[in-house]
Amino acid sequence: MDLYQEELIKKISAITPFYIVGGTVRDHLLNRPGKDVDGIIPIPLEELEKHLREWGYHPLKIGAKHQTLSVFQQGQRMDINFFDGDLEADALRRDFTINAVFQDARTGELIDPLQGREDLENKLLRACGNPWERFREDPVRILRMVRFSVQYGMDIEEDTFRSAQSLLPELKHVASERTSEELGRILTLADPAAGIRLLNELGYLTLYLPELVRLQGLAQNRYHTKDAWEHTLQVLANTPPQPILRLAGLFHDLGKWEVASRECYVWGKCWAEDKGYYIGEYRILGRQLHRYHGDYVEVHGTRLDHYPQVIQVKRIRKDPSCRRGFEWVRDGKRHFLGHEKESGRLTRQILARFRLAMVLGKEGEGGEKELLWLIENHMSGTLSFIAELRGEGSALQLNQKVRQFVWEKGWDGRSYRLTRVDQLLELWRADFYGGKKREPKEEQIFEELLEKLHQTNKAVQKRHQELEWGELEKFAQEHKIKGREWGDFKESLRKTRVVSVDWIPLTTGFLEKEYKHFKGRNYAKRERE
């Protein structure tokens, strides 16, 4: 408790009994630091408000039905509510017994009508009074129950747990801003995976995040030691406690259920119908299938687990033998082709059900767009550096690839996004250590690569900040470069100078050479079109 809070409590206590309650007392009993203060008084809030203004404070009245008088100062907050003088009745209106211990501000005496101190000592989370009534009054208390249980390592009392389960559907009627805020708090706990497991045990995920539940028992390829569900929880646990990274870790593999498949062969005549291509009973997904319309083909592909009439093409060729049939590849690989894009699609559906933009800390859709970008790009590191992760490739090639990678991920067309690249690399690390069989040498290579990417990210940002365009603008005027051509040429130069291993000054000779190459590339592009 800060000095200003102590002084304010002393002033209020001089005119009325003042009882500190809730998290302030709970955290004090647990020897944890507290920040904000909650208190109750038996005099009307209007009377206290008058005194506060006379003392030089600027209180705010918050709430319509149940008003709270709030005082903000020095980054701290004090909330004061009215009660009718009956502490036990006030305690029975609160959520959990651990939050229903009162401290008399005048004497320091603890008043504990519902044995909240004993529950704290026994690590038991119990609703105040009738748990069904408490959760019915405010269903968000169900999510608070999960958060408190994980945060303080407490078991949930049986009747409290059962009542919460029975009232889960009531959360549908709660403002999504409130449920989203509580989910954000659960995800930023020290052990977010424990929070998700408890939500699953409670039945919350089945009702509100069924896309996650489907990952349970979903087998991955032979290199993984965990199924998709356990892998997801491990990735979540591996991420730093930033809301965007925790959400990205939780949702990054949602699409695996949709695209989970196993290698197979299928033979038959390829034909088009309803904007799709088919071989017998199977719909075939792939590129340039129109080339095989009407031909007998052999497809080496993957058959989707949960959409067994769909086969994704890996390789296709004409088959003069005109065979027909289907066959599994013996010991065939498990595949999740394009799962990152499917994960993005499913995440969009989830975002429409919640208000996670407020959790992400940005107004509008900015934070949500960044979340989707991370999810849809979470495989890009592995795909870009697969050779290097195997110990292949030259140092010179690696330097250029690293610069190219961070530029493509960090440049959004208007500014260079250092934080975006760092977040992508953090998500990649969390995923890398999410349950695959790894040799120590592989981990060493990965860590060295990641460090190189982080350092290059900083260097590229610095180079971009140091770019000077005076010579270019002069060159553009002399050569009458303007409009879209000016923008495209400037973008081409920006990439060349920033991504290049060596610094390239904007001299007239360099600009002449680059402009010639630029026009040649544009001419070739128009010819192809």
* Rounded Cα gap, residues 375 and 431, in angstroms: 11
pLDDT per position as a tens digit, 464-501:
887 777 778 888 888 888 888 888 888 888 877 777 76
CA proximity to 283, closest of 298, 266, 296: 266
* Rounded Cα gap, residues 88 and 134, in angstroms: 15
Residue 207 has pLDDT above 90, yes or no: yes
Q: Which two tokens stand for residue 76?
A: 């701290």
Residue 313 has pLDDT above 70, yes or no: yes
Percent of the chain whose predicted confidence (pLDDT) is above 70: 96
Task: Name the one residue in this structure whose structure tokens are 């992760």.
Answer: 389
Residue 124 has pLDDT above 80, yes or no: yes
Q: Find all residues with CB under 8 Å of 390, minimum gap 6, and list them.
A: none
pLDDT at 63: 78
Q: What is the CATH number of domain 3-122?
A: 3.30.460.10
Q: What is the CATH number of domain 261-335?
A: 2.40.50
Distance of CA 452 to the CA centre of its chain: 25
Mean pLDDT across the stretch 222-249?
94
Confidence of residue 76 (pLDDT cuts 50, 70, 90): confident
Residue 68 has pLDDT above 60, yes or no: yes
Q: Which two tokens stand for residue 370?
A: 């960044």
Helix (H, G, I), strand (E, B) or coil at 184: helix
Confidence of residue 363 (pLDDT cuts 50, 70, 90): very low
Average predicted confidence (pLDDT) for the chain = 92
For helices 440-466 and 418-432, angle between their N-to-C axes, nearest 10 degrees: 170
Mean pLDDT across the stretch 81-100?
95
Confidence of residue 526 (pLDDT cuts 50, 70, 90): low
Mean pLDDT across the stretch 343-361?
93
> Which has more pLDDT, 146 or 467?
146
Residue 529 has pLDDT above 60, yes or no: no
CATH topology of domain 128-256: cca-adding enzyme, domain 2 (1.10.3090)
∠ CA 259-422-503, rounded to 5°:
120
pLDDT per position as a tens digit, 153-167:
999 999 999 999 999
Q: Where are the domains of the chain?
A: 3-122, 128-256, 261-335, 379-461, 469-527
pTM: 0.90
Q: Which two tokens stand for residue 470?
A: 């005076």
Residue 75 has pLDDT above 60, yes or no: yes
* Rounded Cα gap, residues 353 and 208, in angstroms: 9
Residue 28 has pLDDT above 50, yes or no: yes
Residue 131 has pLDDT above 90, yes or no: yes
Confidence of residue 525 (pLDDT cuts 50, 70, 90): low
